[in-house]
Homo-oligomer: A and B are copies of this chain.
Amino acid sequence: MSASGKIVIALDGMGGDNAPAMVVAGADIARQRYPDATFLLFGDEARLRPMVDKTRWLKTACEIVAAADVVTNDDKPSAALRKRRSSSMGMAIDAVAEGKADCVVSAGNTGALLATATVGLRMLPGVRRPALCSFLPTVRGETAMLDLGANMQCDANNLVEFAVMGSVFAKSVLGIDAPTVGLLNVGAEEGKGNETLRDAAAMLRVEDSPVAFHGFVEGNDIGAGVVDVVVTDGFTGNVALKTIEGTAKLYTGFVRQAFKTSTLAKVGYVLASSAWKKLGQRADPRRYNGGVFLGLNGVCVKSHGGTDALGFANALGVAVDLVKYHFSDKVVEELNRLRQALGEVPAAAAGGVAGAG
């Protein structure tokens, strides 16, 4: 982000089931919402140019950069890495690595994006593993959850770093001042779960921690919104996320079926149509369409592959929030504070507490 507040967003023009039309239309919505944003759009120039020319807001704020290759949904991460220098995804990531853009957004292949972004952007200083983070609707509002699938196994240090990153994410994207963070476990009591979880909890309970650690939370606490950030390993997080999706679908189906069981119920269904609409908006998956790979040295947002222009615009909004909040700097700063609190680094390393003047 330049001093003037301008943000440059690198876009994978060819990623996503409905690309490139969805990408262009989504960027158009985002440009209207964020007039300070400009776009580097990577992909098939012959297809992109006429689409961009037809947009209302985007056309004056978008530079198209030709990319010869496309990463497909079937590409293995290794295949995506091989065409890193020529694909729309890889070139968009490199634009961030080279300082030409502030963030990259792609609706393409998740595994390919994670691998390419990890190689292209590298890790933030002090972070060992990237984590996929998103936010979900709860009774109280919204809760961020990570890791949603980047790491099948995590040690205590990984979980602690995720806690710091999730906390800064909630501050930047959800606008929460001192987000509470919970570790997902099978019970709230201290002795529950496994050693990794207990070790991570002990580290997060340290005095002067920058993380407002709540303790252990259980699966039902996610939807109840007991904490602002839920931290877990990528296996459990992926299962929990998809279980939430499946259960939401099941119960929505139950409600629909129930309203077909009698004529009165059908009339009630029609009378309540505004209520259905409100419900649909509240639980609209497009509102929750911004998975972010946290921990990389650069902002990288993964939009859902099947999303539409509105969903893609929301993912762009997440990227803008992270850039404006200086997400990466804040994570490095808070991790450093935590390591000081844990006695792992001397206080001076944080920027001259003693004898700096």
Q: Are A219 and B238 in contact (CB under 8 A)?
A: yes
Residue contact A265 to B261, C-beta cutoff 8 Å? no
Contact residues in B for A279 (Cβ distance below 8 Å): 254-255, 257-258
Q: How far is the CB of A258 from chain B (nearest CB, A)?
A: 4
Dominant secondary structure at the A interface: helix
Output the least CB separation between A152 and chain B (Å): 5
Whether A18 is near chain B, meaning CB under 8 Å from some CB there, is no
A2 contacts partner chain B, Cβ-Cβ < 8 Å: no
Question: How far does the Cβ of A196 sit from chain B's closest Cβ, in whole Å?
Answer: 11
> Is the beta-carbon distance between A246 and B221 smaller than 8 angstroms?
yes
Select one of B186, B235, B272 contacting A149, CB under 8 A: B186
Min CB–CB distance A109 → chain B (angstroms): 13
Q: A250 touching B137 by the CB < 8 A rule?
A: yes
Closest B residue by C-beta to A219 = B242
User: Are the C-beta atoms of A240 and B261 separated by less than 8 Å?
Assistant: no
Query: Which residues of the partner chain B approach A36 to less than 8 Å between Cβ atoms?
Result: none
Check if A325 is an interface residue, CB within 8 A of chain B.
no
| Residue-wise interface mask of A (182-203) relative to B, using a CB-CB cutoff of 8 A (1 in contact, 0 not) | 0010100000011000000000
Contact-size category for A: 35 or more
Residue numbers in B under 8 Å from A220 (CB-CB): 242-243, 245-246, 249
In the complex the two chains form, is A224's CB within 8 Å of B246's CB? yes
> Is B268 within 8 A of A272, CB to CB?
yes
Q: Report if A353 contacts B (CB, 8 A).
A: no
Complex contact A152–B186 (CB within 8 A): yes
- For the complex, is A89 an interface residue (Cβ under 8 Å from B)? no
Knowing A267-B268, A272-B272 touch, does A219 contact B235 (C-beta < 8 A)? no
Query: Which chain B residue shows the least CB distance to A226?
Result: B246
CA distance in complex: A72, B265 (Å): 45
Whether A181 sits at the interface, judged by CB under 8 Å, is no
- 15 new A-B contacts, CB < 8 A, other than A224-B246, A268-B269, are A219-B240, A219-B242, A220-B242, A222-B243, A223-B247, A223-B249, A224-B249, A224-B250, A236-B239, A243-B247, A254-B279, A258-B278, A262-B275, A264-B271, A265-B272
Closest 9 CB pairs of A and B: A219-B242, A268-B272, A268-B271, A220-B246, A223-B246, A219-B243, A223-B250, A265-B275, A268-B268
14 sampled A-B residue pairs with Cβ under 8 A: A139-B249, A152-B186, A152-B194, A153-B194, A193-B235, A223-B250, A224-B246, A232-B239, A255-B279, A258-B282, A261-B274, A262-B275, A264-B272, A267-B268
